[in-house]
Amino acid sequence: MGIGQVHRILTRPTYVGRHEFNKRAKNKTLKPTSEIVTVEMPPQIDQATFDAVQAHLRTRNPKATPARVVSGLALLTSICFCADCGGAMTLRTGKGGWYRYYTCLIKARQGETGCEGRSIPMEKLDNLVAEHMADRLLQPERLEEILASVLDRRQERAERRREHVAELNQWAAETGCA
């Protein structure tokens, strides 16, 4: 099943109990709303769920929301911006790829007239960011707190499983299945 078919299923009002006939002419153009025939039928999903899906689809519409770069060759792709103009930093290379830099995209495209931004060696900036993140996130107290939380949740799940098994054993004994 392709994306178009999935989209038609997600946007079809038939699933909330309104099937529409006679929407298009033979040449595939939309007919006026006065010619569309709507037939009530048993809904398969509730209106609130359908409306939530429609709202979600609107927020993800590429015509309304610009695409973002979410992966690339550089660690800081899509999260590093020029301090001067706020434009995205892009990967540039020199000496046949031997040197790699983050450079202001505006400066790279328009030169000094677009932005006076700077170029920063990729390894230097990646290391600075990684060290900063490690210093902030990998504090012993913070790690202890996270691990304690994980262990507590694990114990709670184990206790719920034990209780569920006990209930099932009791049910089996009462019904004579054991």
* Within a domain: 67: no
pLDDT, average across residues 111-140: 86
Quick one: pLDDT band at residue 51, thresholds 50, 70, 90? very high
**130/166 same-domain check:** no
Calculate the average pLDDT of the chain.
Answer: 85
Q: What is the predicted pLDDT for the residue at 105? A: 82
Is 48 contained in some domain?
A: yes
122 lies in the same domain as 111: yes
Residues 144, 106 share a domain: no
Determine, yes or no, domain membership for 166.
yes
Structure tokens at 118: 């700077």
Over residues 144-150, mean pLDDT: 93
**CB environment 97-133: b (16+ within 10 A), e (fewer):** eeebbbbbbbbbeeeeeebebeebebeebbeeeeeee
pLDDT exceeds cutoff 70 at 68: no
Which is it for strands 89-94 and 37-40: parallel, antiparallel or unpaired?
Answer: unpaired
Tell me if the pTM is above 0.75.
Answer: no
* pLDDT at residue 96 in the model: 74
Phi, psi of 21 (to 5 degrees): -110, 160
Q: Using 50, 70 and 90 to split pLDDT, how confident is the model at 70?
A: low
How much is the CA Rg of the chain, to the nearest whole Å? 29
Q: Are residues 17 and 55 in the same domain?
A: yes
Closest CA to 129 of 176, 177, 89: 89
Find the domain containing 147 and state its range. Answer: 139-178
pLDDT at 72: 60
Domain count, the chain: 3
- Max mean pLDDT range (20-29, 30-39, 80-89, 157-166): 157-166
